[in-house]
Structure 1
């Protein structure tokens, strides 16, 4: 698994309401050491508090839209504007533009 994969695991678990100790245990089961778990968890917290600009920095060149885990608000936005996700998959827009636009639409729902 790559760093963005671990990020998605943590985001999914947070969205599902898991406690921090449960997230820690899951990352341990995936083979991460304590230092790596702290790095992943801090990156996720940074993403949540900083917004999409931080997301782009963390995901950098390893962005895989087919493995992206979406929050409920984001899914509602994608259903409202289905062409947005298709544009990302077809390469018509960059991942950064997709994340910014998705954040804008999610905030308005």
Structure 2
């Protein structure tokens, strides 16, 4: 959520050259686990229903793109090394951009520079 506004600006600026998708994965900082003081109150997902419910919080922030939810076996998070967050660009089924792992290396501005090159 920390850089959601930057992400939303990417969606606005580059929706003519890219389709955006958010995959909501396992909560990295659940309030019943390792969390920050200012965290949104999301507990560790024990079921798909828990994960779907938590994703509703993101949807309320209107990410401006489709949001899907990872399976409880965390298949997408594992495949893309996405915990806690990561940006990717795929073209014709191949990864052409892989951003750093969040939160410290999650960099929407770096993705912006990449998208500007392919625009």
- Using the size of structure 2 for normalisation, the TM-score is 0.29
Which has more strand, going by share of residues? 2
Give the structure, 1 or 2, with the largest relative contact order (CA under 8 Å, sep 6 or more).
1
Which has more helix, going by share of residues? 1
- Using the size of structure 1 for normalisation, the TM-score is 0.31
